Amino acid sequence: MMRGFTGVLAVFFVLASGSVYAQSAADSIPHPFNLDSLSEGDRVLLDKYKDVFEDDFHDFLDIFNDSPKSKIDTTVFDMDRSSHVETGLDFASSNLINGRLTGISGVAFYPSVTYYHKTGIYVGISPGFYTDKAIVKATPVPLVNLSAGYQHTFFKRWFVGISYARNIITYGGTVSRKLLDNTLSLSTSVDIWRHLTIAGTADIYWSSTHLKSLPETEKFSSDIELSLRKGFFIYKFAGAKVFTITPALNFYFGDDNRAIAKQLGSSEVKADSLTKKAITKVIANNYFGFLDVEPALTIDWRIRNLDINVTPALAIPFNTLNTKTDQRTLNPKIYRFYVQAGIKYLFCVKKKKGKSKAVNNAKIDDPVF
């Protein structure tokens, strides 16, 4: 950007000096400035800086446009196609599931380590820590998440992923710890002509406990998330190769029992018998349908191998159950604002000797993380 600014000043200087030269003689009549009056040396200098100015002017426009000439962060592009390790720390200001309260107060932190193979297979581990006083007193590490899966982008537009995760919970009773602790996820997204991304995720949950007396509503659950989002890219901004702002609108459908299973565990830690009775009633009145809508805005700041993201969101739950009347309210007019944030660093396992032809020819519409 400084090079472009220097070019502009040089062009201005050449034009200004030519103008003074044309009108400096006291005995001459002032006349309009003409490029023909430039000396041969000034012409060469002007042509040189004209090319520099045009190049930097187009670079400046590329900052705000999805120009096909714009290159992506080649470090990330190469990393995405190489085996690598990601270490990160995620934060959640509220512990919500489909806009519902889980009975866990305070915030949550999730450090993680994930290994990605260049074929698309990955495995990871992520412990969870809550600031809820009752849970902190009960156990130092209340949650450990183990995950494995596969993800790949086809035709530069169609993303597909499948994963399995197991939550190891160390608080609450022996039964509640194993409620809906297994997750099988299938996710996909399609980038429609770089204008809009349509995404969907289907999750199936089941419990590890094999008690015959366990109600069906505590053995199984399912969720479907549909999302519409649009990414706006700013290049070479605030020290980042790529600065992304992505507004999104997320819709959630599914069984209304996952948040209840969480409430059961937290109530056991807090020895709240009244809450236990209410939870039993809610689980018995399980419901499948529209649960939540959440407008969100993701801000992603990437500096080479370091990625920082923040997502403020507003959860608007629907079809909530009133435990006093045993009736569901279509729109309870409840609004829960929360923030998710994360930071991660990418380590390349095996560094390539040189940039591949694919990296050198990479365009902004190629898939990135």
Answer positive or negative: Cα dihedral of 132, 133, 134, 135: positive
Pull the structure tokens for residue 103: 């009975």
Taking the whole predicted model, whether its pTM rises above 0.85 is answered as: no
Q: Which residues lie below 8 Å from residue 166, measured CB to CB, with a gap of 6+?
A: 145, 146, 147, 181, 182, 183
Per-residue confidence of the chain (369 residues) as pLDDT tens digits? 444 445 544 544 444 454 444 444 444 455 555 556 667 766 667 666 666 666 665 555 554 444 444 444 445 555 566 888 999 999 999 999 999 998 899 999 999 999 999 899 999 999 999 999 999 999 999 999 999 999 998 888 899 999 999 999 998 888 888 889 999 999 999 998 778 999 999 999 999 987 776 776 678 899 999 999 999 988 777 666 788 999 999 999 999 888 877 877 777 776 655 455 555 555 556 789 999 999 999 999 888 788 999 999 999 999 988 767 778 889 999 999 999 999 999 887 765 554 444 444 444 333 333
Distance CA 19, CA 13 (A): 10
- CA-to-CA distance for 368 and 74, rounded, in angstroms? 10
Q: At what angle do helices 2-22 and 40-62 cross, to 10 degrees?
A: 150
User: CA–CA separation, 202 vs 217, rounded Å?
Assistant: 18
Q: Are 280 and 263 in contact (CB under 8 A)?
A: no
The answer to whether 347 touches 84, Cβ cutoff 8 Å, is: yes
What per-residue string of b and e applies to 5-41 under the rule 16 or more CB within 10 Å gives b?
eebeebbeebeeebeeebeeeeeeeeeebeeeebeee
Residues 6 or more apart whose Cβ sits within 8 Å of residue 135: 104, 142, 171, 266, 269
Do 332 and 291 form a contact (C-beta atoms < 8 A)?
no
Q: CA 47 to CA 83: how far, in whole Å?
A: 47
Q: How far is CA 160 from CA 9, 154, 275, 290, 331, in A?
A: 50, 8, 40, 24, 33
Coil vs helix vs strand at 199? strand
Secondary structure (DSSP) of 57-87: HHHHHHTTS--TT----HHHHHHHTS-EEEE
User: Containing H/E element for 273?
Assistant: helix 273-284
pLDDT digits 0-9 by tens, 103-115: 899 999 999 999 9
Please say whether the dihedral angle defined by the alpha carbons of residues 298, 260, 258 and 181, taken in this order, is positive or negative: positive
